[in-house]
């Protein structure tokens, strides 16, 4: 079995790391370059950077940030936020990103997934899906979770795979920031239905939640923010705990 990955996520707004609950009530969590360096040193498997307030005008700012992070870390990192073209991806990869994450732009223009895969390869294209339950259905949302769509999670995830994406980053908006655990039932269905890796996001509050999402949710990787940013869980202690619970990890 492949080693499970632990991925700190840095949500970036105006050049700072922030964290909220259910996608709102943001608070400052530190300098992203400093945090990235710490996580790389502490044994994170990868990093994810999401510019949650990205606009076209900020693309240069994000590229500069990517370059500064790339100088400090020796693990793969994924960058997302406001990416809507082959050119956007080219800039970020040239500045040191290893993968890119697209979300709203993929829903609005699914062909973008195909275009990016054709140009850069599946291995560096991650599609992020933010969804929440409405009347018992998982509904995909856009623009940082603010705008509901007519897309349903499992159907959209299957299309994303068919279009060639290398991974899916699934965030449960219902679980985000609550620290009540990941949406393992939905994660398990995604992992069962699809043949590409699924990254679990939204809800990590303690070490047991990570074990649960790898076993019950069948996730390939687990992403978290506040429990790492505010030093509630150390990455090495988490990995040791996972190993003790029979989860394969890189120590």
Active site amino acids = 11, 130
Judge contact between 51 and 84, C-beta under 8 A: no
For residue 2, what is the DSSP state?
P
Distance between CA atoms of 147 and 134, rounded to whole angstroms? 13
Q: Which long-range contacts (CB under 8 A, 24 or more apart) does 15-18 make?
A: 15/61, 15/65, 17/229, 18/52
Q: How many helices (H) and strands (E) does the chain have?
A: 10, 12
How many beta carbons lie within 10 A of that of residue 134, not counting itself?
Answer: 11
Angle (CA) 8-124-178 rounded to 5° is 30
How many beta carbons lie within 10 A of that of residue 183, not counting itself?
Answer: 28
């Amino acid at each position: 079995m492949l080693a499970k990955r632990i991925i700190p996520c840095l949500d970036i707004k105006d050049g700072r790391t922030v964290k909220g609950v259910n996608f709102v009530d943001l608070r400052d969590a530190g300098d992203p370059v400093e945090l990235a360096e710490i996580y790389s040193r502490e044994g994170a498997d990868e990093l994810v950077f999401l510019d949650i307030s990205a606009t076209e005008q900020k693309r240069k700012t994000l590229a500069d940030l990517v370059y500064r992070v790339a100088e400090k870390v020796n693990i793969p990192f994924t960058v997302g936020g406001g990416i809507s073209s082959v050119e956007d991806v080219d800039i970020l990869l040239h500045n040191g990103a290893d993968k890119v994450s697209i979300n709203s732009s993929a829903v609005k223009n699914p062909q973008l997934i195909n275009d990016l895969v054709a140009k850069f390869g599946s291995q560096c294209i991650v599609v992020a899906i933010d969804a929440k339950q409405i009347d018992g259905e998982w509904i995909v949302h856009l623009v940082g979770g603010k705008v509901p769509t007519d897309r349903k999670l499992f159907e959209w995830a299957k299309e994303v795979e068919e279009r060639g994406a290398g991974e899916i980053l699934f965030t449960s908006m219902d679980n985000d920031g609550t620290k009540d655990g990941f949406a393992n039932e939905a994660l398990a269905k995604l992992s069962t239905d699809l043949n590409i890796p699924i990254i679990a996001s939204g809800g990590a509050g303690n070490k047991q939640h990570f074990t649960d999402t790898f076993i019950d949710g069948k996730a390939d990787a687990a992403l978290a923010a506040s429990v790492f940013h505010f030093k509630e869980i150390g990455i090495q202690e988490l990995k040791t705990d996972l190993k003790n619970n029979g989860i394969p990890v890189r120590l």
